[in-house]
Amino acid sequence: MVHTKNRLIKEDFVLGPGELTENRHKNEPLALGDQVPIVWHKAKDFNVYDKNGNKWIDMTSGIFTANAGHANDDIKNAIKAQLDSDLLFAYQYETAIRDKFVTKLLDIVPKHLNKAILLNTGSEATDAIYRLLKPWARQQNKKYIICFKGSYHGRVLGSALMGGSKLDTTWSGVKDEDIIFIDFPYHKDDVFEPQSLPPKEQIAAFFLETYQGWGACMYPPQYIKSLYEYAREIGALVCFDEVQAGFYRMGELFGFMTYGDYIEPDLISVGKGISSCLPIAAVLGRADIIDLDLDANLSGTHAGNAICCAASLANLEFLTDSVFQDELKHKIQYFEQRCKKLLELDLVHKVNYRGMVAGIILKSTAVANETVTYCLLNGVLPVCTFRESIKLGPPLTISIDAIEEAFDVIESAIMEVSHVKQ
């Protein structure tokens, strides 16, 4: 049995598939990716509960979404108020809550990002960037979009075409020959080499994950600097996928800001942490690019619906509060300290971290999966990647003592797996 201030795992808890998992396999596609076998009953702040009262410290934020904490009271109250207003859905008609949210969003982002496209998911947002880059390239008599091998930008066809996995697009039989993939700079001394690219006058844009998702792999600072300078030299756009990294996940409002204050991306995609709970996403960018093709229908039936806008407005107000920001800085310092300490463990190959996200690269997939299992049995929920990594990204509301507990369990898990392997 585990029973602490932040964790509770009862003696009768069994980790494994149950009735709901079986129903899911029966009623939903088998191709739907499996998660670790925990059935969520409720989630509050930085804890996840099952129906039997077992409680985990959530180090996932429900996959980097609940930045303001699960079931944040401010967000709940905003949703309730919108429900009571009897305006839940308005298609693309104007609403006051949509206007308030978009105005707030554009007020807090860098001023050169002066227009927003509201959508439902991060995949839709990255797909919209693809749909903007293609006509822009044609207008400029350019051709190529440069992306990175191993990247992930979503499951919609356009976003998948810009991802680095052939498995994401082979089903379609579609390939965009104008998308060029280059190697991700996994090593700190890697340098950007434009000589390996197509002719500079033909390059339309670079599209980057702020960090490569599977292991929270960060770009070397000098790599980003030289890529950005080269793009500006040749008149190419620079676009960032901020779906995971945005809204203070990396300590700054957007992850690209952590690479240097000289970076002014032309387009970014955001989602997940924009509401901390409900499906809403956006493309933020230069007005001249967003308005380039007036025939493009960059919206959807539920895009910008009233409930999601109310939640997102409350979320932004919560996250930008000065008291919260001061507290977050202290939490990040401790989180990063504990990430660095993991490097002392034998089975840890590398730890990538910045702000409140980390990727722990272990010696093998088997080691990573066993570490996850130990954590689950001891009241900590990490992100299982089913690769040689585990990821951490707790709600930004997590307490210092909960961070401490979680890392103590993670360290114990890795040491236990190391002992078994020996």
Q: Percent of the chain scored above 90 by pLDDT?
A: 89
Count Cβ neighbours within 10 Å for each residue of 22-42 and write b for 16 or more, e otherwise. Answer: eeeeeeeeeeeeeebebebee
**127 φ/ψ angles, rounded to the nearest 5 degrees:** -65, -40
pLDDT tens-digit map of 34-65: 778 899 999 999 999 999 999 999 999 999 99
CATH 3.30.450.20 fits 73-319, yes or no: no
Q: Which pLDDT score is estimated for 169? A: 80
Segment 291-316 shows an average pLDDT of 93
pLDDT tens-digit map of 120-137: 999 999 999 999 999 999
Lookup: tokens for 55? 């409680």
Lookup: tokens for 22? 């079986």
Segment 128-157 shows an average pLDDT of 96
Closest by Cα among 237, 243, 234 to 264: 237
Q: Which long-range contacts (CB under 8 A, 24 or more apart) does 106-113 make?
A: 106/284, 108/253, 108/316, 108/320, 109/253, 109/254, 109/284, 110/264, 112/264, 112/286, 113/265, 113/268, 113/284, 113/285, 113/286
**pTM attached to this predicted model:** 0.96
What fold characterizes domain 2-71+322-352+376-421?
Aspartate Aminotransferase, domain 1 (3.90.1150)
Q: Which of the two residues, 49 and 171, has the higher pLDDT score? A: 49
Q: Which pLDDT score is estimated for 363? A: 94
Segment 145-149 shows an average pLDDT of 97
With 80 as the cut, is the pLDDT of residue 421 above it? no
Fold identical between 2-71+322-352+376-421 and 73-319? no
Between CA 417 and CA 367 the distance in angstroms is 7
Q: Which pLDDT score is estimated for 236? A: 98
Q: Where are the domains of the chain?
A: 2-71+322-352+376-421, 73-319
- Which residue type occupies 111? K
With 80 as the cut, is the pLDDT of residue 419 above it? no
Q: Are 171 and 204 in contact (CB under 8 A)?
A: no
Reported confidence tier of residue 25, pLDDT bands at 50, 70, 90: confident
Segment 188-214 shows an average pLDDT of 96
3-class state of residue 323 by DSSP = helix
Reported confidence tier of residue 85, pLDDT bands at 50, 70, 90: very high
With 60 as the cut, is the pLDDT of residue 422 above it? no
